[in-house]
Amino acid sequence: MIEILFKSLRDNGIKTLDAYKPGSWINVINPDAAEMEKIAADLKLDLYTIKDALDPYETSRVEREEGTDYIFVRIPIKVLEQIYTVPLLIVITPDYFITISKEPLEVIDRLKNNPANVSTTQKTKLFITLLLDANSAYSHMVNEMRKKVRNFTIDVQKIANKDIIQLVDFESVFNDFWSSLEPLSVTLNHLLSGKFLQLFDADQDLVEDLRIGTDQLVKLCVSNTKSIANIREAYTSIISNNLNRTVKLLTAVTLILTIPTAIASFFGMNVTLPLANHPLAFGFIVMITLVLISVVWLIFWKKDYL
C-alpha cells in the first residue's frame, strides 16, 4: 500500500493526494516487488536499499547516496500480548519524506491522527517527531515490563513454572530492545555530526535529548536483563536447596526405618534365637528397636539431617 500525505504549516489537517508533490510524506506499507520498483523509479531511490526495509533482521543504521538519506530504525510493536521490534526505513530526499515498513506501525498512525504535530513540508522536524514517538513507545513498554519483573522479586519462593516462562519472554524482549536501541544511539550520533541531515540548533537539542533517552533505555534494558538473570539464578538455587533437603530427609528416614526392618528380619528367622522362649520377648525387642531408632534420630537431628 502506498499513500501520499501532505500538510503545510497553514493546513489544518493532513490531505491524501493522488500524485507525488514536493513536500509530501509517502508512507509505504508491505509493498510488493512491482510497487518497490515503481517507488524506486519514480522517486529515484536505490532499489536494493529500500528492499532492506522488508528484512525482519535489519538493524539501525544510516546511509547517504546522491543527496538522499536512508535511515533504518527498529520500532517496538505489541501484537496479541507479544512484544517485538520491526524495521522501519525513513528516506529523506530533497523533496520527499518517505517511510517504508512491512506492516502498519502504531507510531505512524499516531502521527497521522494528530495533524497538529505534523507538517510534511518540515522533513527534519517530522523525522525527529517520529523518533520521539518511537522512543516513547520503547519507554512505555520497558517500564511496563519492569514493573512486572519487580513483582517477581518480592517473593522468589512463590514463582511458578509459568512465571519462569514469562521471565524468559521478558528477557528475550529486553535483549531485542537492547540490540535495537544500541545501533539507534550510534545512528543518532551520526546525525548529530551534521554529515547527514541539516539540523538547526533546536533540532540538535532534540536529537541530543533523543540520544540521551536512547542511552537510558539501553541501560534500563541491560539492568532488567541482569535482574531477570538474578531471579532465575535465585530460583534455581532455592529449588536445588529444597531438593537437597528433601533427599537428605528421605535418606535419613530410610536409614531410621532400616533399623526395625533389620531387627524384625533377624528375629523372624526359623532358628534358635535369644529370648525366643521368654514371655516378654516381644516387649524387649520393641524397646530395643525404639532405643536404637531414638539414638539414630538424635544423631541425625544434631547433624541437621532432619
CATH number for the domain spanning 288: value is 1.20.58
pLDDT attached to residue 59: 84
Residue 256 placed within a domain: yes
Q: Which tens digits make up the pLDDT trace of 1-57?
A: 888 888 887 777 788 888 888 888 898 888 888 888 888 888 888 888 888 888 888
Percent of the chain clearing pLDDT 70 (strictly above) = 92
Percent of the chain clearing pLDDT 90 (strictly above) = 1
pLDDT attached to residue 215: 86
Residue 103 placed within a domain: yes
The more confidently predicted of residues 239 and 97 is 97
Residue 125 placed within a domain: no
**Last residue within a domain, chosen from 115, 150, 178:** 115
pLDDT attached to residue 194: 61
The more confidently predicted of residues 189 and 84 is 84
pLDDT attached to residue 66: 79
Residue 182 placed within a domain: no
Residue 157 placed within a domain: no
Residue 200 pLDDT class (50, 70, 90 cuts): low
Residue 192 placed within a domain: no
Residue 136 placed within a domain: no
**Last residue within a domain, chosen from 86, 115, 144:** 115
80: left (phi over 0), alpha (psi -120 to 50) or beta: left
Residue 10 placed within a domain: yes
The more confidently predicted of residues 273 and 65 is 65
Count of domains for the chain: 2
pLDDT attached to residue 306: 67
Terminal Cα distance for the chain, rounded? 71
pLDDT attached to residue 198: 65
pLDDT attached to residue 294: 87
Please check the confidence at residue 277 and state whether its pLDDT lies above 80.
no
Please check the confidence at residue 249 and state whether its pLDDT lies above 80.
yes
CATH number of the domain that residue 80 is part of: 3.30.460.20
How many other C-beta atoms can be found within 10 angstroms of the C-beta atom of residue 283?
11
Q: How far is 76 from 137, CA to CA, in rounded Å?
A: 7
**Last residue within a domain, chosen from 67, 85, 115:** 115
The whole domain housing 63 covers 1-115
Mean pLDDT check: name the lowest of 46-50, 71-75, 173-177, 265-269: 265-269
Beta bridge partner(s), residue 87: 74
Closest C-alpha to 176, from 84, 268, 107, 52? 84
